[in-house]
Amino acid sequence: MELPECPVCLERYDDQVSIPRVLCCGHSVCEACLVELPLRFPNTIRCPACTQLVRYSSEQGPSSLPKNIDLLRVCLSSSSSTSRSVKQSQRSTIEGCDDRSVIRDRLWSDEFYAKWKEWILPHDAVLVEPRPDSDSEPKGFMLRGRFGSSSSLKGRVSVCSRNSKCLSLVPIFPLPGVVNCSKFKFSYVARIMECLEGMKEVEREELALILEASVRQGRVSRIYGLWSEAEVVDGSLYLVCEGHNGGSILQKFGELKNGFIGLGLEDKKDGIFSFAVIGKSVCDSVLALHLEGLVAGCLGLSCFVFDELGGVYVDLNEVLVMGRKIVYGFSGGNKDQQKEEGLFKGCLKNELFLSPEVSFRLLQKNVAINPEGEHSRYRFGYGSDVWSLACVLLRLLIGDALPQIPFEMSEENGFNLSASYVCWVEKVSSVLEDKLGSEYPSLRGTLCKCLDIDQVNRASLMDLRKCIQDMLVKPEFDFLGNLEVTDNRNSTGCCLVLGEFCQLPKGSSEGQGEYALNEKEDDRPIDVVQDGEDKPDANLVASLSKGMTELKDLRGHMDCISGLAIGGVYLFSSSFDKTVKVWLLQDFSLLHTFKGHENKVMALVYVDDEEPLCVSGDNGGGIFVWGLTAPLRQDPLRKWYEQKDWRFSGIHSLTVSASRCLYTGSGDRTIKGWSLKDGTLMCTMNGHKSVVSTLVVCDEVLYSGSWDGTVRLWSLSDHSPLTVLGEDMPGEMKSVLAITVDRHLLVAAHENGCIKVWRNDVFMSSKSLHNGAIFAMSMQGKCLYTGGWDKKVNIQELAGDEFELDVRAFGTISCSSVVTAILSCQGKLFVGYADKSIKVYRGKW
């Protein structure tokens, strides 16, 4: 049995230093820790075990609290050892787990969100240029664009880049889409995060490699981030890369029919020198790709781009597009030999230089390139890029003189790849000898060796680079350009042309799901909560990742909905039509209507006790207590009225404590406590300077929000004030219209559409969520639902730690009327509207 220990220092209790003292909440803390606990409010501390605010006299200290004699007796009798063990403390924070908030209430893990959020560009960061009408490429290839006017562009996107760079965009994955009739829309960031989370692990790893390579390697094109068109419901996730600001090699040298040796210069050496300068930069850029564990798998002149200083770098977007074109050409199932010949010849003709082993992998042919070699079947790696790179260099060197591959046929095996490539390499060697003569034998031999059909026999990238470098630097000075890099031609990396992102984006009908808020279907069985117990869909947050469905539209009230509550098997709704209606959760049918109020019903609350009750308050000061014992009665069990004076404007809010005390927030700026048994006024709390619009009880603390723009905390033990929040906020004070509390967190909604968040009574964040007043708010776990004047329900996730809090937008429900009440409970979202309706929403599984 583990001995009792202090919840703060984790020391075992003793009768010397760690003497247990009992707080009024029932938990014990040692004397040494009580002295160190911060006093956030006068004579008040938070219990470190349950976080409840409790009374503690700072003048008298720990001696004002009784000792826990039972704990002392257990500790002293069970252990005579003086050694103490300190365990690791895993304190619950806003993002952690405790008894009331579990990890399943998270939309994404903090680690996942932190890894990808910095790569997400704002939705207005990019302006896409329209595709030409003559563009015959299928959807899924590269788009062109430029930076938009987003003021939030920062970090990787410099001011210089924004002003001068054009952009290339390649779709890499379909976003979760919504159908056109949908009312529910994921937020921009949420759609991208859901897209990333929906990827396979191998896809995310490949994407991470590409992004990290663009950051670490100067010879690799800069990738600014991930972007999507915010208003396109079935769009794609794009990789946004810098465009060809300095021009590509293809644009500058693609017209050289005879290559660099045919420039018409007086001395052939000048052309060879120019080739060596460009060739060395090309080799360095491919080497940079390999250093990041990436293999292009296919290279062409268009893959290499000049920067502003004349250096060469690899355009990753162009590599992906080239690979996608090849995959598109090779797709289509079984092909006859004639088509296969055409594919290989077409690649060379279009200067898409694809190594033999990658070609046959795309054709899904189990061909032994060299039957005598053990390592040549289906093998591809950095050596594959050496083959492609040699073809690029040959194209620059000799231009159109680069011969086509003569495909050899045999009676037994048909397509003889080995004989075809051996014959082709001999032709290339012959052309090089004819063009170069007896000069540069090392270059001729190295290039031909790079074209060996067996990857094991090819020259390495470093061999090729050194051969070209020797043409530029005299041997005695070759140390100036040497790289201390080991390049293993047999090593394997992530081959882009064979990877996930060279596949054409999946169609909207394939594996994408239907992310929509559909109108209800009357002939579909309704999955609801029975007997007050949660069904498997009780976790609304977890099911939001696939959208939301309108489950039911409840009609019956004759005026604006003012409040919602759930208790037992009932849903209660109050309205300005002076009634309270009772609905069955089993089928959402209208069961009963409580009548009797003479004024608009402003608020209601459910009391869960031996005798369940529903309490409603109206703007005439009337408080009605309704019994819920079947059969439901028409008349209230009890009713009473607040005393009126010249300032009086009725009851605006209600809440109930665990001790069955009813608290009302009134227009006379006071909070009153009433006995539910007989309606006796027990106390009156003064302090607010305007209408008390909202009340919440949590951990024996009463929270009150007011039109004066502040939130006040009151101790329920003696109804004394604890503190005032929001009073010292900069700027104009805006009325608090709703508050919600979940142990550590307090969220206040204001009439200007802004929310303010406190954690352990310390202000953490302020964010504008709505265009207009927020009338209603509800929180489930770390998911916050808000609605108001702009006819929208916004869904946010609150995440962070004790030092920082992040309000992450997840989605929006577009509504047809002003939102006046929200309740998130039992896996469903209940929303009341000004148009008299109540709608029930449920996440899709």
pLDDT (0 to 100) of residue 40: 65
User: What Cα–Cα distance (Å) separates residue 306 from each residue in 248, 291, 473?
Assistant: 6, 20, 22
| 635: exposed, middle or buried (Cβ count in 10 Å: 0-12, 13-18, 19+) | exposed
For 474-510, what is each residue's pLDDT tens digit?
A: 655 454 445 444 455 455 678 888 887 777 655 433 3
Does 255 lie in the same domain as 232? no
Nearest to 611 by CA among 564, 662, 676: 676
Q: Can you tell me the mean pLDDT for 166-170? A: 85
Contact (CB, 8 A) for 829 and 841? yes
Between CA 285 and CA 319 the distance in angstroms is 13
Return the bridge partners of 777, or none.
786
Residue 733 reports pLDDT greater than 90: no
Residue 84 reports pLDDT greater than 50: no
Residue 840 reports pLDDT greater than 70: yes
Q: Can you tell me the mean pLDDT for 160-170? A: 68
Residue 376 reports pLDDT greater than 70: no
Nearest to 586 by CA among 632, 525, 633, 634: 525
SS3 64: helix
For 194-235, what is each residue's pLDDT tens digit?
A: 888 888 888 888 899 999 988 888 888 888 899 988 666 557
SS3 41: strand
- At position 703, the amino acid (one-letter code) is Y
Between CA 461 and CA 383 the distance in angstroms is 8
Does residue 511 fall inside a structural domain? Answer: no
Between CA 478 and CA 367 the distance in angstroms is 41
pLDDT (0 to 100) of residue 153: 61
Range of the domain at 569: 540-843
SS3 208: helix
Q: Can you tell me which residue has the tokens 């009230």?
A: 557
Where is the domain boundary, 175, 208, 242? 242
Residue 684 reports pLDDT greater than 90: yes
Q: Can you tell me the mean pLDDT for 110-121? A: 87
Between CA 9 and CA 6 the distance in angstroms is 6
Residue 564 reports pLDDT greater than 90: yes
The number of C-alpha atoms within 13 Å of 180 and in the hemisphere containing its C-beta is 0
Dihedrals phi, psi of 804, to nearest 5 degrees: -150, 145
Residue 462: which CATH number? Answer: 1.10.510.10
Does 165 lie in the same domain as 44? no
Where is the domain boundary, 190, 216, 242? 242
pLDDT (0 to 100) of residue 539: 61
User: Max Cα separation, the chain?
Assistant: 113
For 801, the token pair is 């730690």
Nearest to 248 by CA among 142, 382, 329: 142
Pairing state between β 494-495 and 294-295:
parallel
Does 73 lie in the same domain as 161? no
Does residue 535 fall inside a structural domain? Answer: no
Name every residue whose Cβ is closer than 8 Å to that of residue 520 and which is 6 or more positions away in sequence: 549, 550, 551, 552, 553
pLDDT (0 to 100) of residue 39: 73
Share of the chain above pLDDT 70, in %: 76
Residue 116: which CATH number? Answer: 3.30.200.20
For 237-273, what is each residue's pLDDT tens digit?
A: 888 888 776 577 877 777 777 778 776 555 567 778 8
Where is the domain boundary, 218, 242, 266? 242
Does 50 lie in the same domain as 123? no
Residue scoring higher pLDDT (442 or 648) = 442
Radius of gyration of the chain (CA): 36
Nearest to 701 by CA among 98, 55, 93, 22: 55
Residue 655 reports pLDDT greater than 70: yes
pLDDT (0 to 100) of residue 340: 61
pLDDT (0 to 100) of residue 653: 96
Does 611 lie in the same domain as 756? yes
SS3 230: coil
Residue scoring higher pLDDT (785 or 126) = 785
For 618-629, what is each residue's pLDDT tens digit?
A: 999 999 999 998
pLDDT (0 to 100) of residue 532: 37
pLDDT (0 to 100) of residue 370: 46
For 522, the token pair is 């009357």
pLDDT (0 to 100) of residue 32: 83
**Residue 282 DSSP label:** H
SS3 527: coil
CA dihedral 82, 86, 92, 97 (to 10 degrees): -100
The number of C-alpha atoms within 13 Å of 76 and in the hemisphere containing its C-beta is 13
Does residue 673 fall inside a structural domain? Answer: yes
Contact (CB, 8 A) for 294 and 210? yes
Does 816 lie in the same domain as 671? yes
Between CA 527 and CA 31 the distance in angstroms is 53
Between CA 522 and CA 550 the distance in angstroms is 11
Q: Can you tell me the mean pLDDT for 346-358? A: 77
- Give the count of beta carbons closer than 10 Å to the beta carbon of residue 80: 6
pLDDT (0 to 100) of residue 403: 80
Q: Is the pTM above the cut of 0.85? A: no
For 16-53, what is each residue's pLDDT tens digit?
A: 778 888 888 788 888 888 888 877 677 788 888 877 77
Q: How many helices (H) and strands (E) does the chain have?
A: 16, 46
Contact (CB, 8 A) for 692 and 704? yes
DSSP per-residue codes, 536-560: TT--HHHHGGG-EEEEEEE---SS-
Does 213 lie in the same domain as 66? no
User: What Cα–Cα distance (Å) separates residue 258 from each residue in 271, 511, 752?
Assistant: 11, 49, 70
Give 204-210 contacts, CB < 8 A, sequence gap 24+: 205/494, 206/494, 206/496, 206/499, 206/500, 206/501, 207/172, 207/501, 209/292, 209/293, 209/294, 209/494, 210/239, 210/294, 210/316, 210/496, 210/501
pLDDT (0 to 100) of residue 819: 96
Does residue 182 fall inside a structural domain? Answer: yes
Number of domains forming the structure of the chain: 4
Does 253 lie in the same domain as 379? yes
The per-residue pLDDT of the chain, averaged, comes to: 79
Between CA 664 and CA 673 the distance in angstroms is 7
pLDDT (0 to 100) of residue 232: 63
Which run of H or of E encompasses 691? none
- At position 368, the amino acid (one-letter code) is A
pLDDT (0 to 100) of residue 335: 55
SS3 302: helix
Does residue 643 fall inside a structural domain? Answer: yes
Q: Can you tell me the mean pLDDT for 783-794? A: 94
Does 150 lie in the same domain as 42? no
Residue scoring higher pLDDT (300 or 740) = 740
Residue 533 reports pLDDT greater than 60: no
User: What Cα–Cα distance (Å) separates residue 621 from each residue in 229, 577, 653, 821?
Assistant: 52, 16, 11, 21
Confidence of residue 365 (pLDDT cuts 50, 70, 90): low
Residue 689 reports pLDDT greater than 70: yes
- Give the count of beta carbons closer than 10 Å to the beta carbon of residue 502: 25
Residue 730: which CATH number? Answer: 2.130.10.10
Between CA 142 and CA 120 the distance in angstroms is 19
Between CA 673 and CA 663 the distance in angstroms is 5
Does 122 lie in the same domain as 58? no
Helix axes 201-216, 316-330, angle to 10 degrees: 140
For 591-615, what is each residue's pLDDT tens digit?
A: 999 999 999 999 999 998 888 999 9
Residue 137 reports pLDDT greater than 60: no
Dihedrals phi, psi of 489, to nearest 5 degrees: -65, -20
Return the bridge partners of 741, or none.
746
pLDDT (0 to 100) of residue 604: 95
Least confident of 435-439, 679-683, 789-793: 435-439
**Residue 50 DSSP label:** T
Share of the chain above pLDDT 90, in %: 26
| 297: exposed, middle or buried (Cβ count in 10 Å: 0-12, 13-18, 19+) | buried
Between CA 595 and CA 633 the distance in angstroms is 10
Overall residue count recorded for the chain in this entry: 845
Between CA 315 and CA 496 the distance in angstroms is 13
Residue scoring higher pLDDT (35 or 522) = 35
pLDDT (0 to 100) of residue 267: 59
SS3 4: coil
Does residue 683 fall inside a structural domain? Answer: yes
What is the SS3 assignment for 17-28? CCCEEECCCCCE
Does 266 lie in the same domain as 224? no
Return the bridge partners of 594, or none.
580
- Give the count of beta carbons closer than 10 Å to the beta carbon of residue 191: 24
Between CA 142 and CA 321 the distance in angstroms is 6
Which run of H or of E encompasses 227? strand 223-227
Contact (CB, 8 A) for 529 and 549? no
| 472: exposed, middle or buried (Cβ count in 10 Å: 0-12, 13-18, 19+) | middle
Residue 716 reports pLDDT greater than 50: yes
Residue 113 reports pLDDT greater than 90: no
Helix axes 382-398, 461-470, angle to 10 degrees: 30
pLDDT (0 to 100) of residue 627: 92
pLDDT (0 to 100) of residue 702: 94
Does 334 lie in the same domain as 302? yes
DSSP per-residue codes, 154-194: -TTS-HHHHHH-EEEEEEEEEPPP--TT--EEE-HHHHHHH
Residue 757 reports pLDDT greater than 90: yes
Confidence of residue 400 (pLDDT cuts 50, 70, 90): confident
Residue 97 reports pLDDT greater than 70: no
| 85: exposed, middle or buried (Cβ count in 10 Å: 0-12, 13-18, 19+) | exposed
For 173-187, what is each residue's pLDDT tens digit?
A: 877 654 434 578 888
pLDDT (0 to 100) of residue 817: 94
pLDDT (0 to 100) of residue 562: 96
Residue 276 reports pLDDT greater than 50: yes
Does residue 588 fall inside a structural domain? Answer: yes
Does residue 96 fall inside a structural domain? Answer: no
User: What Cα–Cα distance (Å) separates residue 746 from each residue in 466, 711, 757?
Assistant: 66, 10, 6
Contact (CB, 8 A) for 525 and 189? no
